[in-house]
A and B are shown apart, each in its own frame.
Chain A
Amino acid sequence: MPYPGELASKAAHAEIIRNPDVTAFLQECNYLTPPSDEECQAVAARFVPPLSAQVRTPAFVIAVDGSNHESSIDDKLPSTKIGYIKIGAVLIDLQQYGSLKVGKYVDPFRVAELQNQASALAFSIPSANIRWGNQPTVRESLRAWIDQQFYGPRTRFNAADPTTSLRSTLFHLAARRPGGLGTGDPYRLKIHKCPQCGNGPVELEDVPEQQYCPFCGAEVYPTDCLRVWEEAQEYQSNGVVMSRLMLILEHLVPFHYMRFLFKTAPLALSEMAFFVDGPLAIFGTAAWLHRSFMIFLQEVNRKLAKHGCHPLLMIGLQKTGQIVDHVSLIERHVSNDRLLAVDDEYRYKYILAGREPSRGGFGFETYYGQDLIYKTPTGRIFVFALPYPYPSKDEPGVDFVEEKVQFGHYPQLPTAIALINQLESDLYKNAVVPIALAHRYTAISLEPGGKVLDLLTRRALNA
């Protein structure tokens, strides 16, 4: 995701607001207006000092961030497009990181060195007017190609072992899906319907062979369960698919690490922190993943607890969005080193402009983590999220809406805060170094206006 001001075209913004038609329209709308000073003070009073606790910060941070880009394959064919997604995963050794700070500042050269421990997964997406292989349509090309890339050796922890691929991780997560679409078997998953004939569900296995719909005989792919194909366009840009897939991947990749470490070296997970960009939530057609994540995290934490280890630390760090906007309005009223868990009442009142609360609480169908706002001792504000401490939102005997905002349920909260304070970065506003690094890593090839990718595209398709 772009950082504010990074890909800016601010000039246009002011123009629009000043347009009288727009002003008139806005007057008929409900939208968030800056709160009064009084309101601000009331809001600020809800912030409390974080619980102080002896913590041991993790040894490693893995930060994941993605970016995407679409380009035409040829100047003469501007409407024939291919998309690129790049998911960067930066591994930071916090001991090394400790030596990066020179006085108040971070040594940029040393930071650059850290990038050597970064990995990037590149995905390409047939966008408009491109078909892959023998596939008859863009939609089918897209499905086949996505599946192949999820399965490919680049996504594997062990290139020779396909069960370490990202696609196998998807199997593990899909198997844990509650309800009829879960299988309980990490080598089987169900797609809710066949994209071709619409019958379903269709159960698939984690095998290399091509699998077919039992109803119509058409090819079906395990990654169809992400349902990104539903938004595929034949003749226009597939930017929507691209950004959906990118957002999914930004969350899947950390779970990919977790899944593999959990299997091979589970206690190592207690030494790690995972940063992802944005709230801990999955929107859209793959929103079901959020439940699998919750269940999986619960399993991991149970095992860690069995060995006397702390729960896994996963942090969703938000650089943009409604909360960030809201925070900028009240920021100056909040004292340093203060924390707030965003509860539903607060959110609907101050952040979502009085929108109707949704069934089961905010984000019932999408969120797997709790949003928190923290102002550091140095006065910098961070909006971040920690995974909910439950495997579901309707645990018997748990008033989820109430309890999800109790600090006491988040044993990893003090560690998260300590870590944020430790990593507080001067590189970007509202960011901490890892996520910024991850972002920079993915952004690198995009910098010269995507020219490099354009070239690559052309070469690849012409060859």
Chain B
Amino acid sequence: MTDFQQHLQIITRRVLSLERLWELARFQPNDAQREAIIHVDGPLYLTAGPGSGKTRVLLWRALNLIVFHEVLPGEVFLSTFTEKAAHQLQEGLQSLLGLVTNLTGRPYDLTPMYIGTVHSLCRRMLSDRRRFSVDRQRHRPPTLLDELDQYFHLARNRTWTEVRQCAGLEGDANGIINGIFGVRSESRHVAVTNCLALFNRFSEECLDSDHALYRLDNDASSLRNYLQTWNLDREGLSLLVRLYAAYRESLRTGNGVEQTDFALSQQEAYRIVETCTGSDQVFRHVIVDEYQDTNTIQERLFFKLAAGTGNLCVVGDDDQALYRFRGATVENFVEFPARCHTYLGRAPRRLSLEINYRSQERIVDFYTAFMQQANWAKSDGQDGFYRVMDKDLVAHRQSPLPAVVASTPAEPTDVCAEIATLVRRLLDEGKVGDPNQIAFLFPSLKYRGAMLDSVRRVKEALEAVGLRVYAPRAGRFLEVDEAYDLIGLFVHIFGYPPRADLRGHDYQAYMEWLQSAEAQGEALMHSDPLLDGYVKERRAELVRVAQDYRALLRTAESHHWDLRAPYDPDRMKRPLYNAHGYSDEGKRLLASTYLDRVVRERTAKGQPFTLGYILKRVTSIDWNVLDLFYRLCGFEHFKRMFDLAERAEDEGPVTNLGLISQYLARFMEQRVPIITADLLVDKLFQKLFFGSYLFALYRRGETEMEDADDPFPKGRIPFLTIHQAKGLEFPVVVLANPRKDDRGPQRVELLMRPFLEREPGEPLERLAEFDMMRMFYVALSRAKNLLVIAHYKGKGQRINAPFITLLDAGFPRIPTFNLNALPAAQEKDEALPKIYSFTADYLTYKKCPRQYMIFRGFGFVPARSQTMFFGSLVHRTLEDLHHELIRRRESHE
């Protein structure tokens, strides 16, 4: 070692300290944060109020372990609630570790780190044969179905029939199934949707169907009482359990490959950890974020993973528990200390993050008071609470100024108008910079796919004062203008699907939607001759390849050639070439020397092409649905949307286009990657695309996954469900409907309870109230500077009890609210350091800023033809823009 090298080591070893890193990252942790970051050994129970800097703590905790405690990244298991959160944490960590590298020269690789949602981590465990090598026979992990795939799987004719038969149901039994769920409907769609919700709960509670059936047959009196109380029927329950067993069987055997769903993959991961020795020590640290939203199987898995080391750190806020309907059991969090005793044999260190860095003092006071409106004490003579009580939230932004305001109690139309005027003023007076900083939150936005009246009223009031709304999840996503535009053009290119033998309201509505889309497409073509020409060309191309395919097929049949037999050019090429009606374009493909060469090579290798393959190959289209999407985007109508977004005037349309591109990509991935002519004859493609895929999206009112990372477009006011707003914050929040009716416990919950293998936790009759409290708590705590509450009054109007109490006569009301005292919203500075990758960000941006904006900013899925798309459209318009800017600058001077 040279003296220089020695010096270097001394320096880099010493310049590193957590304090120095905090200083460099401009982070000043408070005492609780500091303690939570440096806690290393043993379980940690971290309660974190809203806006208390929880994510930062997680970030620094991971950093502290990796940098200062020699924990390898691969030894950290960090589970987050959404992929977005995981992504943020990972980027943040990468960036901070970059800082460390800059100080010490020591590089870090985070790829071995287990960070992501439980689902993705389970999936990773299943394929991590190096560390969890239990099932050596299995060649690959089962294919994971996401929620939409799961739906498609079960709703498929074959599966649905099989499953019902296995469960012993004859004939069309959708009505029976729906009846058990308390719904009067013959619809398969409804039956499948309900079943899946329950099946997922069963899986999350690790229900063993044999055992469950045994219990139903040999019931105790308690079960009888339960069924009576809730008016449930034993036979119905038994049928559901049998259907569940059949569903699981269908996953194992259906489709040729083994499949699994989110819930079941967790069970499998658990089983692996249980059976694989040493797997409770693979991770030296198990860290779980949003622990209040974990379910039974997840809790078991986490404790199992941490059993070897005791290093389980859970972070959460029981007051923000939102996902009971997904099986989340908030008791996992509230009772964590007791569970720690049970599973790890020790008590956790308890820390509480109570300083709120997000909201004005009055807002924090308000939601704290809100939570105290409910009685959280346990019933039935038990001690304790269904809530972590010893929390004392303090606002970091101390200010006596009012920051919570309610509308004048009135009829909805008046309330909406008053709020709309306030919003208008907030924008006009510069209290917020962009409409997307004002979020309107609702308990729900739609019912059965259609926007709720209570939501529509607010939207209309805002539109009346010249504001635009972004609410892709209110109503069906397919009902946004951009979907009409694009799908309308698709209809003109591909043609209608053959009319399916489907009755029912949904199908009728869907066909009407498709017709409107077609009309919209026609209008677009009419207004743009270039577009018109393009669409007709594509249409002609499809017709031609279909004709070619038929011509070739006829020739093959007349020669009695088997399509599965090897293609023999010497014998077949000429007759095919001369097939009657075979187009010149097709002939060129068949006659190409390239094809000849490939055919020869394959034959020489002993893997000759089949005749069928060759027929498809010489009649396939060289573009797919995504390519088509991008080429259509190049026409004036869509181009304008990109211009709007680029000028940051309105990002709504482009955001919607981005979502459409994601659906098209999914279709390609799962259904039709390449459009071949055999799919066009008999309209098979049209059936798959319009008749099945789009129809399913339409019916499910499908929008996006709940936790999707979609941007809030500039220029529009976001309308969100409170669930969607989880984890977000906005300068101004309008709680536009403080009403959530108590409809009793959810059906799935009722159907699940008799099979619970654990303490049932919160009593059924109090669930609705608790859930309502927590949901509104989440809504109220999203606001930074101003919280506005709609106060409805009048016939048929009500708001929930805590609001009635809190919004008393002395409460600040909009008409007398002094806007001047309100601080202006700061430009959003990223709470976490963001790192940009060289290739994905820098190079793309350098190559083309618009391309960067679209792919990185709006989540467009790239297609093969993107280069062409960007080659023509983007650069042309970018140049226009550039010239425009120069022109303006010159005219100013």
A residues sitting closer than 8 Å to B (CB atoms) are 59-60, 62, 89, 91, 93, 95, 117-121, 153-159, 164, 256-257, 260-261, 264-268, 271-272, 307-309
Contact = CB atoms under 8 A, between A and B. Distances in A.
A119 B6 CA distance: 9
A156 B2 CA distance: 7
Given A159-B1, A308-B24, A117 B102 contact: no
B5 A91 contact: no
A157 B5 contact: yes
B24 A157 contact: no
11 contacts: A89-B7, A91-B11, A95-B14, A117-B7, A158-B2, A260-B8, A261-B11, A265-B105, A268-B12, A307-B99, A309-B24
A157 B2 contact: yes
A265 B7 contact: no
Contact of B10 (A93, A264, A265): A93
B3 A119 contact: yes
Contacts of A157: 2, 4-5, 8
B127 interface: no
Given A59-B15, A60-B14, A271-B15, A257 B102 contact: no
A159 B2 contact: yes
A260 B5 CA distance: 10
Given A60-B14, A267-B24, A268-B12, A257 B7 contact: yes
Given A60-B14, A265-B12, A308-B24, A91 B103 contact: no
A153 B12 contact: no
B5 A62 contact: no
A156 B4 contact: yes
A268 B15 contact: yes
A424 B593 CA distance: 86
Contacts of B7: 62, 89, 91, 117, 119, 257
Given A265-B102, A265-B104, A307-B102, A158 B11 contact: no
A121 to B, nearest CB: 8
A113 to B, nearest CB: 14
A266 B4 CA distance: 16
Contacts of A62: 7
Contacts of B448: none
A252 to B, nearest CB: 13
Contact of A267 (B3, B8, B26, B99): B99
B30 interface: no
B101 interface: yes
Contact of B4 (A257, A271, A308): A257
A154 B1 CA distance: 9
Interface string B88-104: 00000000000101111
Contacts of A153: 2
Contact of A119 (B4, B102, B105): B4
A308 B103 contact: no
Contacts of A117: 6-7, 10
A267 B5 contact: no
A187 to B, nearest CB: 20
Contacts of B4: 89, 119, 155-157, 164, 256-257, 260
A156 B4 CA distance: 7
A60 B26 CA distance: 22
B84 to A, nearest CB: 27
B8 A59 contact: no
A110 to B, nearest CB: 17
A118 B2 CA distance: 11
B14 A59 contact: yes
Interface in B97-119: 99, 101-105
A-B complex: 6 closest residue pairs judged by Cβ atoms: A119-B3, A264-B105, A265-B105, A267-B102, A271-B15, A267-B103
Contacts of B24: 267, 307-309
Nearest to A120: B3
Nearest to A265: B105
B594 to A, nearest CB: 43
A92 to B, nearest CB: 10
Nearest to B21: A267
Contact of B103 (A93, A95, A265): A265
Contacts of A309: 24
A89 B3 contact: yes
B8 A261 contact: yes
Given A261-B11, A308-B24, A268 B104 contact: yes
Nearest to B25: A308
A13 B20 CA distance: 54
A120 B2 CA distance: 10
Contact of B11 (A121, A256, A268): A268
Contact of A159 (B5, B26, B101, B104): B5
A189 B99 CA distance: 32
A425 B806 CA distance: 70
Nearest to B20: A271
Which of A89, A118, A154, A271 is most buried by chain B, counting CB atoms within 10 A of its CB?
A271
A93 B102 contact: no
Contacts of A95: 14
A402 B8 CA distance: 38
A266 B102 contact: yes
A271 B1 CA distance: 23
Which of B4, B8, B11, B103 is most buried by chain A, counting CB atoms within 10 A of its CB?
B4
B314 to A, nearest CB: 33
Interface in B630-684: none
B269 to A, nearest CB: 39
A148 B536 CA distance: 75
A47 to B, nearest CB: 34
Contacts of B11: 59-60, 91, 261, 265, 268, 271-272
Given A158-B5, A268-B104, A91 B12 contact: no
Given A157-B4, A308-B24, A268 B10 contact: no
Contacts of A257: 4, 7
Contacts of A265: 11-12, 15, 101-105
Contacts of A268: 11-12, 15, 102-105
Which of A62, A118, A260, A261 is most buried by chain B, counting CB atoms within 10 A of its CB?
A261
B678 to A, nearest CB: 57
Which of A159, A260, A268, A309 is most buried by chain B, counting CB atoms within 10 A of its CB?
A268
Contacts of B105: 261, 264-265, 268
A165 to B, nearest CB: 10
Contacts of A156: 2, 4-5
Contacts of B15: 59-60, 265, 267-268, 271
Contacts of A119: 2-4, 6-7
A159 to B, nearest CB: 5
A112 to B, nearest CB: 17
B2 A154 contact: yes
Contacts of A272: 11
Contacts of A91: 7, 10-11
Contacts of A266: 102
Contacts of A121: 3
Nearest to A118: B3
A114 to B, nearest CB: 12
B63 to A, nearest CB: 15
Nearest to A271: B15
Interface string B1-41: 11111111011101100001000101000000000000000
A90 to B, nearest CB: 9
B101 to A, nearest CB: 7
Which of A117, A119, A156, A265 is most buried by chain B, counting CB atoms within 10 A of its CB?
A265
A119 B14 CA distance: 18
A275 to B, nearest CB: 14
B573 to A, nearest CB: 57
Interface string B149-171: 00000000000000000000000
Nearest to A158: B5
A136 B8 CA distance: 40
A257 B3 CA distance: 11
